[in-house]
């Protein structure tokens, strides 16, 4: 018989111990950095009406929603991402707040992954959204903030690729709509073989020079040189405009002193319909999969009744965790044990230790664990090896794992004793 | 250093020839060798010899920067990788095959190593069929009545003929592809592009 109750649903996982400490630490550091840049935390429900997400997501992504029904029978879905709920909040709860709004979050998101067996269903996203600022300075702020936040987590080797949906759309503008969709899907799938094959089969759809430009476009990556290449194939005003924005963005990023960790990727096409301008994808050297993504989505807020340009980026916390060196795991937990009659002392010392910033667990030990009538034998040691430990025996004797911790505990006992808080 | 995952089996010889003519020679005894990792220090590359179905996973997770694998495997695995180049070797037809005079539009059960291709193909025909997912010797299935027909790769068609089966319809052709890990495509762009270019010139020449 299969025992499902003891297993987790596919695509989910548990965190505990050192790994959990590190994960929480990453989340704390990211949020702290976001707030230092003036971003305010928001929280939204774990699930929303499915229509809410349909406003933000590509129609094809519909099947990736994890849906259920509420008590009225309406279809609700676990949030697949945070940008849409945050946009909804910015247009409703925060409707009267002056723009620009700087919002941040760290929240779990869920997706059905379209039937793929592997891959996480549950993803922690830590992200920022800058709403109400349409200029490249806003995109630069988001990217610089992301670079700073990732560095705060301890990550050193990473880069951001920057694309521009406006550029891609401008180059596609000459083509029939159905062809644009097919090409866009090929770019989203990162399938350049299919992309080339589509172009090769559609020689009547655009002038030869334009088709050649479309062919080279997704392969161009680089710094300022890539902008030059982009300009050479920017046949329409909108494409030149995108190049201007890239140029302004790179200039701003160099003033933010992060230009060395970004490059352009002309073919970068993220699979959310709502991106309209600069797109961002981040990669860590230590991990095969992207760790961050985002971009400009100037039309999304209007879907919820508020006209506002916006840009943002999210970090995939679990991937950052995987990319980080596993050394340096959190703060060890100290332990304080009491035997017969020493519980009040131990609890008081525990309170004081915590006030001083120690992480300390207080626990009793029993006769069965090798303790004699007077308290503990001096050969007793706890079985758990992490952190320092001390044991308070009856009569005020104290044995401890190290001298330093013994001195701290004894000092607390002495001071509390003088203040009359302690009866030894 | 670039790490390149190569698919053992069907396309390995052609892969070795293509690499050699692109300026990345690999040892002649590649197919016989039991070694799983081969290093070429002079060109700063390292080859992993993997089972074809595992190549997409090696590349997706970044254990390899690049991979050379058939489109058949790539499509089935749906790995999140960059598909950079059609290498135009290892070309095979993917066909529906069965007893002569089988009506492809009326089959109910299809045995295959390629459930995704198969389901997609019959869905386009407006048919929802039952797929029997087998790992090898797929031809056996219609012989003993396990399935009405099969979907499989055909190079010469000899195995089919020897078992009295015949191709009934063609789903398309597959060939070897060069794929890249997403991180490597961005963070090792110069090395990746140089390798792609070397292979492109070679495969472009072979294509005509």
Query: Could you read off the pLDDT of A116-158 as tens digits, one per residue?
Result: 555 788 999 999 999 999 999 999 999 999 999 999 999 999 9
User: In this structure, what token pair is assigned to residue B98?
Assistant: 């069965």
Question: Where is average pLDDT lowest: A228-232, A302-306, A331-335, B95-99?
Answer: A331-335
Q: Do B63 and A288 touch (CB under 8 A)?
A: yes
A46 and A80 Cβ atoms separated by less than 8 Å: no
For residue A116, give the nearest of B61, B78, B82 by CB distance.
B78
User: In this structure, what token pair is assigned to residue A104?
Assistant: 């941040």
Between the alpha carbon of residue B133 and those of residues A79, A115, B119, B130, the distances in Å are: 34, 17, 11, 10
Helix or strand holding residue A332 (H, E): none
How many CB pairs below 8 A link A and B? 59
Question: Where is average pLDDT lowest: A44-58, A59-73, A88-102?
Answer: A59-73
Interface test with A, best of B80, B173, B197 (most A CBs within 10 A): B80
Characterize the bridge pairing of strands A262-265 and A158-164: parallel
Cβ neighbour number for residue A337 with a 10 Å cutoff: 24
Q: In what side-by-side order are the strands of the sheet with B66-70?
A: B37-40, B45-50, B2-7, B66-70, B176-180, B82-86
Interatomic CA distance for residues A84 and A64, integer angstroms:
15
Distance from CA of A118 to the nearest CA of B (A): 10
Distance from CA of B157 to the nearest CA of A (A): 27
Characterize the bridge pairing of strands B92-98 and B166-174: antiparallel
Distance from CA of B2 to the nearest CA of A (A): 13
A164 and A246 Cβ atoms separated by less than 8 Å: yes
Q: Do A283 and B80 touch (CB under 8 A)?
A: no
Q: Do A288 and B84 touch (CB under 8 A)?
A: no
Q: In A308-371, which ranges are E strands?
A: 310-316, 334-338, 360-364
Closest by alpha carbon to B107, among B93, B87, B88, B127? Answer: B127
Q: If pLDDT is split at 50, 70 and 90, which confidence band does A336 have?
A: confident
Q: Do A221 and B189 touch (CB under 8 A)?
A: yes
DSSP 8-state class, residue A57: S
Query: What are A187-238's pLDDT values in tens digits?
Result: 999 999 999 999 999 888 888 889 999 999 999 999 889 999 999 999 999 9
Distance from CA of B82 to the nearest CA of A (A): 5
Furthest-apart CA atoms within chain B: distance in Å:
57
Interatomic CA distance for residues A315 and A400, integer angstroms:
43
Q: If pLDDT is split at 50, 70 and 90, which confidence band does A111 have?
A: confident
For residue A287, give the nearest of B81, B86, B183 by CB distance.
B183
Classify A48 as helix, strand or coil. Answer: strand
The reported pLDDT for the residue numbered A401 is: 79
A51 and A76 Cβ atoms separated by less than 8 Å: no
Q: Who has greater pLDDT, A273 or A88?
A: A88
DSSP collapsed to 3 states, chain B: CEEEEEECCCCHHHHHHHHHHCCCCCCHHHCCCCCCEEEEHHHCEEEEEECHHHHHHHHHCCCCCEEEEEHHHHHHHCCCCEEEEECCCCCEEEEEEECCCCCHHHCCEEEECCHHHHHHHHHHCCCCCEEEECCCCCCHHHHCCCCCEEEEEECCCHHHHHCCCEEEEEEEEECEEEEECHHHHHHCHHHHHHHHHHHHHHHHHHHC
A114 and A271 Cβ atoms separated by less than 8 Å: no
Triad B183, B185, B189: Cα angle to 5°: 120
**pLDDT of A267 strictly over 50:** yes
Q: ipTM score here?
A: 0.86
pTM: 0.86
Distance from CA of B140 to the nearest CA of A (A): 28
**pLDDT of B204 strictly over 70:** no
Decide: residue A54, CB within 10 A, 0-12 exposed, 13-18 middle, 19+ buried. Answer: middle
Distance from CA of B9 to the nearest CA of A (A): 23
The reported pLDDT for the residue numbered A62 is: 63
A91 and A64 Cβ atoms separated by less than 8 Å: no
User: In this structure, what token pair is assigned to residue A382?
Assistant: 């706890």
Mean pLDDT across B106-133: 93
Q: Do A221 and B62 touch (CB under 8 A)?
A: no
Q: Do B60 and A221 touch (CB under 8 A)?
A: no
Please say whether the dihedral angle defined by the alpha carbons of residues A389, A395, A396 and A402, taken in this order, is positive or negative.
negative
For residue B83, give the nearest of A190, A221, A283 by CB distance.
A190
Cβ neighbours of A192 in B, within 8 Å: 82-85
Mean pLDDT over each residue of chain A, to the nearest integer: 87
The reported pLDDT for the residue numbered A423 is: 45
Q: If pLDDT is split at 50, 70 and 90, which confidence band does A369 have?
A: low
A311 and A295 Cβ atoms separated by less than 8 Å: yes
> Residues of chain A whose C-beta is under 8 A from some C-beta in B?
116, 159, 161, 189-194, 196-197, 219, 221-222, 263, 265, 281, 283-285, 287-290
Residue found under tokens 């390995």 = B12
Cβ neighbours of A194 in B, within 8 Å: 83
Interface test with A, best of B85, B88, B119, B187 (most A CBs within 10 A): B187
């Amino acid at each position: 018989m299969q025992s499902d109750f003891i297993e987790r649903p596919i695509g989910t996982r548990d965190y505990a111990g050192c790994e959990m400490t590190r994960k929480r630490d990453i989340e704390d550091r990211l949020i702290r950095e976001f707030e230092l840049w003036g971003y305010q935390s928001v929280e939204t429900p774990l699930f929303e009406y499915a229509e809410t997400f349909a406003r933000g997501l590509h129609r094809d992504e519909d099947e990736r929603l994890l849906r259920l029904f509420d008590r009225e029978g309406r279809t609700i879905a676990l949030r697949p991402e945070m940008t849409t709920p945050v946009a909804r909040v910015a247009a409703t709860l925060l409707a009267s707040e002056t723009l620009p709004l700087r919002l941040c979050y760290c929240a779990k998101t869920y997706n059905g992954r379209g039937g793929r067996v592997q891959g996480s269903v549950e993803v922690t996203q830590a992200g920022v959204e800058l709403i109400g600022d349409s200029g490249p300075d806003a995109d630069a702020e988001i990217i610089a903030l992301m670079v700073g936040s990732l560095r705060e987590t301890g990550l050193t080797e990473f880069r951001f690729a920057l694309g521009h949906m406006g550029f891609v759309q401008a180059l596609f503008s000459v083509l029939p709509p159905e062809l644009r969709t097919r090409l866009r899907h090929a770019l989203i799938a990162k399938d350049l073989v299919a992309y080339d094959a589509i172009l090769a089969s559609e020689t009547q759809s655009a002038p030869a020079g334009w088709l050649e430009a479309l062919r080279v476009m997704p392969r161009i990556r680089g710094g300022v040189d890539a902008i030059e290449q982009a300009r050479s194939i920017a046949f329409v005003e909108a494409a030149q405009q995108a190049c201007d924005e890239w140029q302004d963005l790179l200039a701003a990023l160099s003033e933010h002193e992060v230009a060395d960790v970004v490059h352009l990727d002309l073919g970068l096409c993220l699979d959310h319909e709502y991106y309209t301008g600069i797109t961002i994808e981040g990669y860590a050297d230590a991990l095969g999969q992207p760790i961050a993504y985002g971009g400009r989505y100037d039309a999304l807020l209007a879907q919820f009744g508020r006209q506002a340009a916006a840009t943002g980026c999210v970090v995939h916390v679990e991937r950052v965790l995987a990319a980080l060196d596993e050394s340096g795991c959190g703060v060890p937990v100290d332990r304080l044990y009491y035997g017969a009659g020493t519980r009040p002392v131990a609890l008081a010392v525990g309170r004081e230790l915590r006030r001083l910033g120690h992480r300390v667990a207080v626990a009793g030990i029993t006769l069965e664990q090798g303790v004699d009538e007077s308290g503990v034998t001096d050969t007793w040691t706890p079985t758990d090896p992490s952190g320092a430990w001390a044991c308070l025996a009856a009569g005020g004797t104290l044995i401890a794992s190290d001298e330093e911790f013994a001195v701290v505990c004894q000092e607390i006992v002495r001071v509390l004793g003088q203040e009359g808080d302690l009866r030894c | 250093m670039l790490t390149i995952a190569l698919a053992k089996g069907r396309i390995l010889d052609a892969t070795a020839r293509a690499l050699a003519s692109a300026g990345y020679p690999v040892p002649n005894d590649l197919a016989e060798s039991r070694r799983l990792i081969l290093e070429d220090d002079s060109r700063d590359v390292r080859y992993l010899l993997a089972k074809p179905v595992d190549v997409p996973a090696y590349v997706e997770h970044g254990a390899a920067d690049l991979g050379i694998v058939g489109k058949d495997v790539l499509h089935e695995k749906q790995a999140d990788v960059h598909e950079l180049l059609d290498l135009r070797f290892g070309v095979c037809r993917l066909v529906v095959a069965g007893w002569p005079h089988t009506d492809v539009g009326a089959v109910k059960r299809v045995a295959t190593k390629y459930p995704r291709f198969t389901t997609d193909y019959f869905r386009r025909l407006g048919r929802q069929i039952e797929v029997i997912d087998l790992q090898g010797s797929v031809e056996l299935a219609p012989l003993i009545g396990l399935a009405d027909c099969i979907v499989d790769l055909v190079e010469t068609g000899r195995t089919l003929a020897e078992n009295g089966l015949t191709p009934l319809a063609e789903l398309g052709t597959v060939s070897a592809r060069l794929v890249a890990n997403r991180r490597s495509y961005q963070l090792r762009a110069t090395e990746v592009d140089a390798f792609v270019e070397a292979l492109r010139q070679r495969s472009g020449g072979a294509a005509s």
